[in-house]
Amino acid sequence: MNILLLGSGGREHALAWKLVQSHLLSHLYIAPGNAGTSSLGTNLDISVNDFQAIKSAVLKYNINMVIVGPEDPLVAGIHDFFLANPGIRSIPVIGPVRNAAMLEGSKDFAKKFMILHRIPTAKYMTFDLSTFEQGVAYLKTLQPPYVLKADGLAAGKGVIICKTFGEAVDEFNAMLLNARFAEASRKVVVEEFLHGTELSVFILTDGISYKILPEAKDYKKIGEGDTGLNTGGMGSVSPVPFADRSFMDKVESRIIQRTISGLKTDNIDYRGFIFFGLMNVHGDPYLIEYNCRLGDPETESIIPRLQNDLVKLLLATTQQRLGDETITVDPRYAATVMMVSAGYPGSYEKGKILTGEALITDTLVFHSGTRINSETRQTETNGGRVLALTSLGNSLHDALSKSYENADKIDFEGKYFRRDIGFDLE
Ligand code: AMP
Ligand code: GLY
Contact status, residue 351 vs residue 380, Cβ threshold 8 Å: yes
Question: 266: domain range?
Answer: 197-324
Query: Does residue 315 share a domain with residue 201?
Result: yes
Q: Which atom of ligand 2 is nearest to the CA of 297?
A: 1
With a 6 Å cutoff on the Cβ, whether 120 touches ligand 1 is no
Q: Which atom of ligand 2 is nearest to the CA of 220?
A: 1
- Which long-range contacts link 327-332 to residues 24+ away (Cβ below 8 Å)? 327/211, 327/212, 327/213, 329/214, 329/305, 330/304, 330/305, 330/306, 330/392, 332/305, 332/392, 332/393, 332/394, 332/399
Q: Domain of 217: which CATH number?
A: 3.30.470.20
Query: Does residue 250 share a domain with residue 186?
Result: no
Query: Does residue 210 share a domain with residue 164?
Result: no
Q: Domain of 16: which CATH number?
A: 3.40.50.20
Residue 418 in domain: no
With a 6 Å cutoff on the Cβ, whether 108 touches ligand 2 is no
Q: Can you count the helices (H) and strands (E) in the chain? A: 13, 22
- The amino acid at 333: Y
Q: Domain of 384: which CATH number?
A: 3.90.600.10
Residue nearest to atom 19 of ligand 1 (CA): 193
Residue where one domain finishes, among candidates 138, 172, 191: 191
C-alpha count within 13 angstroms, C-beta hemisphere, residue 31: 23
Q: How far apart are CA 201 and CA 248, in angstroms?
A: 9
Residue nearest to atom 5 of ligand 2 (CA): 295
Q: Which residues contact 194 (CB under 8 A, 6 or more apart)?
A: 122, 279, 281, 286, 288
Q: Which residues contact 266 (CB under 8 A, 6 or more apart)?
A: 113, 116
User: How far are the Cα atoms of 71, 191, 214, 372 from residue 219, in angstroms, in the given order?
Assistant: 20, 22, 17, 28
Phi and psi angles of residue 265, each rounded to the nearest 5 degrees, phi first: -55, -40
Q: How far apart are CA 388 and CA 366, in angstroms?
A: 5
Q: Which helix (H) or strand (E) holds 424?
A: none
Q: How far apart are CA 113 and CA 116, in angstroms?
A: 5
Residue where one domain finishes, among candidates 134, 168, 191: 191
Residue nearest to atom 5 of ligand 1 (CA): 159
Residue 43 is predicted with a pLDDT of 98
Residue where one domain finishes, among candidates 292, 324, 356: 324
Query: Does residue 278 share a domain with residue 201?
Result: yes
Q: Domain of 177: which CATH number?
A: 3.30.1490.20
| Ligand minimally distant from the alpha carbon of residue 279 | 1
| β partners of residue 287 | 278
Tell me the DSSP string of 377-417. Answer: --EEE-SSEEEEEEEEESSHHHHHHHHHHHHTT-B-TT-B-
Tell me the DSSP string of 93-112. Answer: EES--HHHHHHHH-HHHHHH
| Ligand minimally distant from the alpha carbon of residue 152 | 1
Q: What is the DSSP letter of 356?
A: -
- Chunked in runs of 10, what are the mean pLDDT values of the chain (426 residues)? 98 98 98 98 98 98 98 97 96 97 96 98 94 92 94 86 93 85 86 96 97 97 93 96 96 98 96 97 97 97 98 97 98 98 96 96 97 95 97 97 97 97 86
Residue 91 in domain: yes
Residue 106 in domain: no
Residue 216 in domain: yes
Query: Does residue 318 share a domain with residue 234?
Result: yes
Q: Which atom of ligand 1 is nearest to the CA of 158?
A: 2
> Is-cis flag, bond preceding 304, omega within 30?
no
pTM: 0.96
Query: Does residue 84 share a domain with residue 164?
Result: no
Q: Which helix (H) or strand (E) holds 82?
A: helix 78-84
With a 6 Å cutoff on the Cβ, whether 288 touches ligand 1 is yes
Contact status, residue 120 vs residue 284, Cβ threshold 8 Å: yes
Domain count, the chain: 4
Straight-line distance from the first to the last Cα atom of the chain, in angstroms, rounded to the nearest whole number: 42
Q: Which helix (H) or strand (E) holds 67?
A: strand 65-68
Contact status, residue 412 vs residue 386, Cβ threshold 8 Å: yes
What are the percentages of helix, strand and coil residues in the chain, rounded to 5?
30, 25, 40
CA of 159 to the centre of ligand 1 (A): 7
Query: Does residue 295 share a domain with residue 309?
Result: yes
Residue 115 in domain: no
Query: Does residue 211 share a domain with residue 173?
Result: no
Contact status, residue 220 vs residue 288, Cβ threshold 8 Å: no
| Ligand minimally distant from the alpha carbon of residue 233 | 2
What stretches of 117-187 show up as alpha helix (H) in DSSP?
132-141, 165-176
Query: Does residue 315 share a domain with residue 239?
Result: yes
With a 6 Å cutoff on the Cβ, whether 299 touches ligand 2 is no
Residue 105 in domain: no
Residue 103 in domain: no
Residue 279 in domain: yes
Residue nearest to atom 3 of ligand 2 (CA): 295
Q: What is the DSSP letter of 18?
A: H
CA of 134 to the centre of ligand 2 (A): 32
Query: Does residue 290 share a domain with residue 182?
Result: no
Residue 424 is predicted with a pLDDT of 87
What torsion, rounded to 10 degrees, do the Cα atoms 270, 276, 282, 283 define?
60
CA of 372 to the centre of ligand 1 (A): 35
Query: Does residue 314 share a domain with residue 225?
Result: yes
| Ligand minimally distant from the alpha carbon of residue 161 | 1
Residue nearest to atom 1 of ligand 1 (CA): 159
Angle of CA points 41, 43, 49, to nearest 5°: 130
| β partners of residue 83 | none
Query: Does residue 201 share a domain with residue 313?
Result: yes
| Ligand minimally distant from the alpha carbon of residue 338 | 2
Residue to probe by mutation, ligand 1, list 159, 197, 220, 290, most atoms within 8 Å of CB: 159
Residue to probe by mutation, ligand 1, list 288, 289, 294, 424, most atoms within 8 Å of CB: 288
Q: How many CB atoms lie within 10 A of CB 151?
A: 25
